[in-house]
Amino acid sequence: MDSKQRAEVFIVVKQKLEEILELIHETSPEGEYLASYCFGLPVQEDGENTYEFFAGYTAETPEEIDAMLGTVINFYEANQEDDNDTGDIDYWLNLN
């Protein structure tokens, strides 16, 4: 995937994220919510595999970012131990 293709993918991802964030904003009683996202696409530079990232968040304090990143770490660690079916809706509803 070349640079132009990665940019096109990130543009589409950004558009979809804006739709999702708008939906969440509309359904949140006070319009308050937290979100974090990070997507990486492979890039090969000097024979090495690396990633180009697209990331963002909706947070007002470092503590909110810490809470979200801590959740991501906990999710990762739980997945390392379990062989859960991520295609099952109950998997996603019972993360915490």
**Residue extents of the structural domains in the chain:** 1-58, 60-96
Task: Name 43's bridge partners.
Answer: 50
Q: What is the pLDDT of residue 90?
A: 72
User: What is the rounded distance in angstroms from the CA atom of residue 92 to the CA atom of residue 61?
Assistant: 26
Backbone phi and psi for residue 93, each to the nearest 5 degrees, phi listed first: -80, -15
Higher confidence at residue 84 or residue 65?
A: 65
Burial class of residue 57 (count of CB atoms within 10 Å of its CB; 0-12, 13-18, 19+): middle
Q: What is the pLDDT of residue 94?
A: 67
Higher confidence at residue 76 or residue 87?
A: 76
pLDDT at 84 over 60: yes
- Taking a C-beta distance cutoff of 8 angstroms, is the pair 55, 14 a contact? no
Cα–Cα–Cα angle for 87, 77, 15, nearest 5°?
Answer: 55
